[in-house]
Structure 1
Amino acid sequence: MRTLLPLLFLCGRLTFAQNPAEIRLIVRSDDIGFCHTANEACMKVYTDGISRSVEIPAIVPWFMKAVKMLKARPEYDVGVHLCLTAE
């Protein structure tokens, strides 16, 4: 934990170095690939909305379709859920 604290402090300083009073909101979509509608909604809020990143669990039923959709938008920031169990 001691080695992590200076890193967290540095990240906080880098994030707000330009203007400490500025408030930032990063909108992240969750669980793309869960169903067809979730895939379409996550892509729509990226192209037409304010979402700038998305998370995808590898165990979801529409995973492969979500991967194809995300490959078409390489600028979309994608994270992977770590899932230890399935629903």
Structure 2
Amino acid sequence: MTVSGIISALIVGLIIGALGRLVLPGKQNIPIWLTIVIGVVAAVLGTFLANALGVGDTRGIDWIEVVIQIALAAGGVSLATGIYNGRKRIR
């Protein structure tokens, strides 16, 4: 993977992760680096899932794929918030 590919993945991950956080109500107390990681993973998984469903290869912007990615990011942020905040309470 090239440097530009890594930078692109980080930017897409940041955007997808931020949109996933925006979809959820309330405040999520997780660090920004975790949001980026969740966004990158959600973007990759969302692309594979959209292609498996046959909706990932259209002309222009693949809105269904984007919605799948944001939904996966929201689920990941929700899960990470529960785990991250649970660890803080135990200590």
The structure with the larger Rg is: 1
TM over 0.5: no
More helix by share: 2
> What TM-score does the superposition give when structure 2 sets the normalisation length?
0.23
The alignment's TM-score, normalised by the length of structure 1, stands at 0.23
| Larger fraction in strand | 1
